[in-house]
Amino acid sequence: MHKTYNEIIQIAGDVITVEAEAIGYGELAEVQARSGVSLAQVIRLDGPRVSLQVLNGSRGISTNDKVRFLKHPMQVSFSDNLLGRIFTGSGAPRDNGPALSENMISLGGPSVNPAKRIVPDKMIRTGVPMIDVFNSLVESQKLPIFSVAGEPYNELLARIAMQAEIDLIILGGMGLKHDDYLFFKDTLEKHGSLAKSIFFIHTASDPTVECLLVPDMCLAVAEQFALQNKRVLVLLTDMTNFCDALKEIAITMEQIPSNRGYPGDLYSQLAKRYEKAVDFDTAGSITILAVTTMPGDDVTHPVPDNTGYITEGQFYLKGGRIEPFGSLSRLKQQVNGKTRDDHRAIMDRMIQLYAQYRETLEKRSMGFRMSAWDEKLLKYGQRFEKEMMALSVNIVLEKALDLGWDILSDVFEPAEVGIKDALVKKYWRKK
Which stretches of the chain bind other proteins, using CB under 8 A? 21-27, 44-48, 73, 108-120, 140, 227, 255-259, 263-265, 267-268, 271-272, 274-276, 278, 280, 283, 300-302, 305-306, 308-310, 312-313, 325-326, 328, 331
For strand 142-147 and strand 285-293, is the pairing parallel, antiparallel, or unpaired?
parallel
Q: Which is nearer to other proteins, 206 or 223 (CB)?
A: 223
* CB of 205 vs other proteins, minimal distance in Å: 30
Residue (55 or 188) nearer to other proteins, CB = 55
At its nearest, how many Å lie between other proteins and the CB of residue 357? 16
Q: How far is the CB of 325 from other proteins (least distance, A)?
A: 7
* 205: CB partners within 8 A, 6+ apart: 178
Least Cβ distance, residue 376 to other proteins (angstroms):
19
Among residues 4 and 81, whose Cβ is nearest to other proteins?
Answer: 4
C-beta of residue 410 within 8 angstroms of C-beta of residue 380: no
Asked if residues 340 and 407 have their Cβ atoms less than 8 Å apart, the reply is: no
Q: How far is the CB of 233 from other proteins (least distance, A)?
A: 17
Beta carbon of residue 249, minimum distance to other proteins (angstroms, whole number) = 12
Q: Distance of CA 222 to CAs 4, 170, 349, 399, 430, Å?
A: 34, 7, 38, 32, 49
Looking at the Cβ atoms of 119 and 372, the one nearer to other proteins is 119
Nearer to other proteins, 84 or 108 (CB): 108
Cβ distance to other proteins smaller for residue 44 or 178: 44
Q: What Rg value do the Cα atoms of the chain yield, rounded?
A: 25
State how far the Cα of 142 lies from the Cα of 32, in Å rounded to an integer: 39
Q: Could you say which DSSP state residue 280 is in?
A: B
Nearer to other proteins, 110 or 192 (CB): 110
Torsion of CA 208, 214, 216, 222, to 10 degrees: 180
Residues sharing a CB contact under 8 Å with residue 188, sequence separation 6 or more, in sequence order: 158, 161, 162, 169, 194, 197
3-state secondary structure of 194: helix
Compute the least distance from the CB of residue 270 to other proteins, in Å.
8
Q: Which residues contact 130 (CB under 8 A, 6 or more apart)?
A: 315, 321, 322, 324, 327, 388, 389
CB 47 within 8 A of CB 28: no
